[in-house]
Amino acid sequence: MAAALQTLDAGAVAADPDAARKRRSNHSKAKSSRKRLRQRTTPMGTAKHQKPTEKMKKLFRKRAREYHSDEEEDDVDKEFPEDPSSDEEKDEDLGVGDYGSGGSEGDEEDEEGVKHGITRLLEGCRAFKVAFAKIMKRNLPDDPLGPILSAHKKLVAEKLAEEDSEQKMKGESKKQRHSADEKGHTKPDNFLDAKEKFLISVATKGVVKLFNAVSKAQSSQSGLNPSSSKDAKVLAKRRKQAFFSELQKPTPQISDSNKGNNNEPGWAPLRDSYMLTHSKLKDWDKMAEPAAAISGERVLSDSSSDGE
Amino acid sequence: MARFNHKKRRGLVKPPVVKNQPTVDQITGQKIPKSFVFSRGRLPGPVRQLELDLRKLMLPHTALKLKEKKRNKLKDFLNVAGPMGVTHFLMLSYPMSSPHLRVARTPQGPTLTFEVQEYSLAADIARSQSRPSYPKELCDNSPLIVLSGFGGGDQHLKLTTIMFQNIFPAIDINTVKLSTCRRIVLLNYNSETKLIDFRHYSIRLQPVGVTRRIRKFVQKHEIPDLRNLKDVSEFVTRVGYGSESEADEESATVDLASDIGRVNRASNKSAVRLQEIGPRMTLRLVKIEEGLCSGNVIFTEFGKEVENAHPETQEE
Strand blocks (E) in chain B: 35-40, 88-93, 100-105, 111-120, 144-148, 183-190, 195-207, 253-255, 269-276, 280-289, 297-300
**Other beta carbons less than 10 A from residue A256's beta carbon:** 9
pLDDT of residue A70: 60
Q: Greater confidence, A173 or B311?
A: A173
Decide: helix, strand or coil at residue A204.
helix
pLDDT of residue A166: 95
In a domain, B124, yes or no: yes
Distance CA B65, CA B13 (A): 17
Top residue of A174, A212, A218 to mutate, by most chain B CBs within 10 Å, is A218
* Cβ atoms B169, B25 nearer than 8 A: yes
Q: B291's torsion region: left (phi>0), alpha (psi -120 to 50) or beta?
A: beta
| Contact criterion met (CB < 8 Å) for B146 and A288 | no
Residues B261, B144 within the same domain: no
pLDDT of residue A69: 67
Q: How confident is the model at residue A172 (pLDDT cuts 50, 70, 90)?
A: very high
Which domain does B190 fall in, by range? 25-203+278-300
Residues B86, B181 within the same domain: yes
B203 phi and psi angles, rounded to 5 deg:
-100, 130
Q: Is A238 on the interface with B (CB under 8 A)?
A: no
Distance CA A162, CA A150 (A): 18
| Contact criterion met (CB < 8 Å) for A218 and B147 | no
Residues B160, B241 within the same domain: no
Question: Is it the case that residue A302 has pLDDT exceeding 60?
Answer: no
B245 phi and psi angles, rounded to 5 deg:
-70, -30
Distance CA A85, CA A274 (A): 126
Chain B hits for A234, CB-CB cut-off 8 Å, are none
* Cβ atoms B182, B137 nearer than 8 A: yes
Question: Is it the case that residue A22 has pLDDT exceeding 60?
Answer: no
| Contact criterion met (CB < 8 Å) for A205 and B251 | yes
**Other beta carbons less than 10 A from residue A251's beta carbon:** 15
Distance CA B120, CA B281 (A): 6
Residues B108, B247 within the same domain: no
Chain A hits for B184, CB-CB cut-off 8 Å, are 203, 206-207
| Contact criterion met (CB < 8 Å) for B312 and A292 | yes
pLDDT of residue B228: 81
pLDDT of residue A170: 94
Could you say which of B130, B158, B199 has the minimum Cβ distance to residue A199? B199
Residues B218, B173 within the same domain: no
Q: Is A1 on the interface with B (CB under 8 A)?
A: no
Picking from B253, B271, B289, the residue at the C-terminal end of a domain is B271
Nearest CA to B143 out of B247, B84, B59, B229 is that of B59
Nearest CA to B190 out of B102, B295, B117, B124 is that of B117
- For the stretch A124-153, pLDDT in tens is 688 888 888 988 887 766 666 666 666 667
CATH number at residue B45: 3.40.50.10480
* Cβ atoms B144, A207 nearer than 8 A: yes
In a domain, B97, yes or no: yes
Residue of A nearest to B151 (CA): A266
Residues B167, B135 within the same domain: yes
* Cβ atoms A140, A147 nearer than 8 A: yes
A91 phi and psi angles, rounded to 5 deg:
-55, -50
* Cβ atoms B175, B25 nearer than 8 A: no
Q: pLDDT below 70 — which residues of chain B?
A: 1-29, 239-251, 257, 261-263, 265-267, 303-316
Chain B hits for A282, CB-CB cut-off 8 Å, are 108
**Other beta carbons less than 10 A from residue B194's beta carbon:** 12
Distance CA B207, CA B254 (A): 10
Q: Greater confidence, A273 or B296?
A: B296
Residues B187, B131 within the same domain: yes
pLDDT of residue A229: 65
pLDDT of residue B301: 75
* Cβ atoms A41, A96 nearer than 8 A: no
pLDDT of residue B274: 87
Distance CA A263, CA B163 (A): 24
* Cβ atoms B169, B30 nearer than 8 A: yes
Decide: helix, strand or coil at residue B141.
coil
Question: Is it the case that residue A88 has pLDDT exceeding 50?
Answer: no
In a domain, B139, yes or no: yes
Residues B175, B249 within the same domain: no
* Cβ atoms B17, B65 nearer than 8 A: no
Distance CA B309, CA B243 (A): 61
CA neighbours within 13 Å on the CB side: how many for B224? 16
In a domain, B93, yes or no: yes
Residue of B nearest to A186 (CA): B120
The count of structural domains within chain B is: 2
**Other beta carbons less than 10 A from residue B11's beta carbon:** 6
Distance CA A262, CA B152 (A): 9
Residues B73, B188 within the same domain: yes
In a domain, B142, yes or no: yes
CA torsion through residues B129, B133, B139, B145, sign: negative
In a domain, B189, yes or no: yes
Question: Is it the case that residue A105 has pLDDT exceeding 90?
Answer: no
| Contact criterion met (CB < 8 Å) for B199 and A300 | no
Residues B103, B252 within the same domain: no
- Cα distances from A219 to residues A30, A210, B262, in angstroms, run 132, 14, 20
* Cβ atoms B262, B174 nearer than 8 A: no
Residues B137, B247 within the same domain: no
Residues B35, B139 within the same domain: yes
Q: Greater confidence, A20 or B170?
A: B170
Distance CA A130, CA B64 (A): 77
| Contact criterion met (CB < 8 Å) for A284 and B162 | yes
Kindly list the domain boundaries of chain A, sorted by start residue. Answer: 2-96+105-137, 210-249, 255-308
Minimum mean pLDDT among A30-34, A253-257, B161-165: which range?
A253-257
In a domain, B307, yes or no: no
Nearest-Cα distance to chain B for A169, in Å, is: 21
Could you say which of B47, B162, B199 has the minimum Cβ distance to residue A279? B162
* Cβ atoms B294, B107 nearer than 8 A: no
Distance CA A269, CA B144 (A): 11
Distance CA A283, CA B162 (A): 11
